[in-house]
Structure 1
């Protein structure tokens, strides 16, 4: 095979397909990138046998063919080349990469050993504007669990109900829910749990006006965006019944400026002990909330911010890292805090039109 392509276009393609390269596999072929040139296109493929990625880009093809090159090495070489035309000549023995005055010769792998790209028969499919998709993922993906022993909690539950797409994530200490209207679709009943890290990889792709397509098969999910296709397994298991965590009433509800609240939480966290919770002392009569924290053997801090609300005076405390995760996902100027009692979860809500809810378990006040 022999082809030429601009360095920046090849680097962009490699940054996408590298997500599918196996990092700890006992099969050397899975650490490679499969290259195939045909017509006037270059197709790159990677797989770790769970996630498969395929990217197609225009190229100047002189000789059709295919090869498998070491993934990380090839990407590192291309990343450090000049912004000029990159010429690649490769077969199953090796590859020669030339750009400007630089030339590399690297060993290649046998393309016959590379797994074929999975062909999946999908049943339901939805299209979402890419900007809407990325903003939804940004709100919920940071809440997924890092604990692989409960794999279902490392994923995001995605459902479609009456043209409203909902994403839900929880690590059992907090819960994030966001929803948005999607264009006309016939995929009613659409439901799947998808790895949070995978959704973040999709959301990190270059932004365009093109929609992202999500299609479901029995055990897999197929995501298509522009000239890139991802096939990944769905997470198996029952997602927790999050609806039973959402109370239908509250004793106290206050509205606070997000910017002031985030600043106050960051300042309270400067004492540097993650085990020291931040206490909210809400006083309805004075329409104020005092934030305070005490760090053993270090010191204490308190700060008053104004609020508008109704209900009962209440004290409740939260882990500051969880607070910052939730508040950083709020895109409005104000945020509501709803509290039942100091021992029940606090709920932060962004006002309309932003549909975002963040529930966080309280820390017991000593």
Structure 2
């Protein structure tokens, strides 16, 4: 194989496929990037057995062929190059990388040992705007369960119905739901549990395209945007019936300034070193919400926030880390609504905008 390619284009392509480089020392081939050149195109592939990534880019192909070279090493090399064109030449034993006055001779791996890219036939798919979808995933991703012992909770329930897209995530301590209106062809519908980590990773890269296609097979999830394809395993099972978690009534409704609550929470939580509990005391007569935290070794802190209240006095204790995650998700809004039924039932934060957001949080014992 012998090719010439723009350094900027190659660096961008490597930043995408490097997300799929494997780290299993027992399978060194997975630490490589597979490169195949033909018909003026270079196709890059990586796989860590969990995800497969393929990306195509234009290049001057002088000699067709394929190579596998260390993905981390090649990425680091290309990132440091200052020339405009990178020349790559190699076989199944050695790879020569040259750019301007820099030359690198790298060991190669046998392309025949690299896993083939999975074939698939989509059963259901939907094409969505990447900009709005990226914002939605950012709002719910932190709520996904980060331990693979509960794969269902590590996923994001994604539904499209009646031109409304909804994303739902939960780690059993909290629940995040966001939805917005979208335009779909012929009122398309879609329903799948998408792996949260991969979904978030894909959306962080899809800035290179205005649209992203998400599809499923009986065992796979496929993401396609521009010249890039991600394939990963589908999460099997039933997502929890999150609607049953939502309280049927609301005793107290509080409207609070997002920036003010965020700042107060940061100050009060300074003393909550070993105990993440922050108490929220809502007082109707004074139209205030008092945040307080206590630590046997550090002391205590309180702060009053003026709020608009409908309902009656109520007190609830919440994990300040989780409340802070919610504030980050609604940081683009001026106000957030805080709904409560009792101090022993979940508290719900709501925000209404182009993307509607609901964040349910289980209370802590006071």
| TM-score clears 0.5 | yes
Matched-pair contact (CA < 8 Å) for 1:274–1:320: no
State the Cα deviation string for residues 51-92 of structure 1 (Å, max 9, x = none): 110011111211111111111111111122224211100111
Count of aligned positions: 365
CA distance, structure 1, for counterparts of residue 290 and residue 278 of structure 2: 10
3-state SS of 2:259 partner: helix
Deviation at 1:274, TM superposition (A): 4.8
Matches within 5 A, 1:1-366: 1-24=1-24, 26-186=26-186, 188-205=188-205, 207-208=207-208, 210-330=210-330, 331-365=332-366
**Contact 2:272–2:294 at 8 Å: present in 1 too?**
no
Q: Distance between the aligned counterparts of 1:46 and 1:147, measured in 2?
A: 24
Which deviates more from structure 2 when the two are superposed, residues 25-34 or residues 312-321? 25-34
Q: CA deviation at 1:270?
A: 1.4
The 1-side partners of 2:186 and 2:28 are apart by 42
For structure 1, list consecutive stretches of 5 or more residues without a partner in the other structure: none
Alpha-carbon offset, residue 209 of structure 1: 5.5
- Tell me by how many angstroms 1:189 deviates: 4.8
Partner Cα distance (1:298, 1:188) in 2 = 56
C-alpha separation between the residues in 2 aligned to 1:186 and 1:274? 54
From the superposition, tell whether residues 142 and 23 of structure 1 become closer, same or farther in structure 2 (CA, over 3 Å).
Answer: same
| TM-score normalised per structure 1 | 0.96
CA displacement, residues 209-249 of structure 1 (integer Å, 9 cap, x when unaligned)? 52111011111111001111101111122211111001121
Q: CA 1:2/1:187 → structure 2, altered by over 3 Å: closer, same or farther? A: farther
**Offset, 1:177:** 0.4
Any idea what the Cα deviations from partners look like across 1:96-123, whole Å, max 9, x if unmatched?
A: 0011211111111111121221121001
Q: Distance in 2 between matches of 1:107 and 1:186?
A: 52
- Whole-angstrom CA distance in 1 between matches of 2:171 and 2:211: 29
Provide the secondary structure at the position in 2 that maps to 1:322: helix
Report deviation, 1:137: 0.4
Could you tell me whether the CA contact under 8 Å between 2:24 and 2:30 is conserved in 1?
no
Alpha carbon RMSD of aligned pairs, Å? Answer: 1.4
Distance in 2 between residues matched to 1:66 and 1:26, nearest whole Å: 23
Q: Deviations over 1:245-278 (max 9, x none)?
A: 0112110001001000111111112125152411
Deviations 1:124-174 (A, max 9, x none): 111111111100100000111122211111111111221211111100000
CA contact under 8 A between 1:278 and 1:317: conserved in structure 2? yes
1:187 to partner: Cα distance: 7.2
Please state how far the C-alpha of 1:185 moved relative to its aligned partner. Answer: 3.3
CA 1:187/1:238 → structure 2, altered by over 3 Å: closer, same or farther? farther
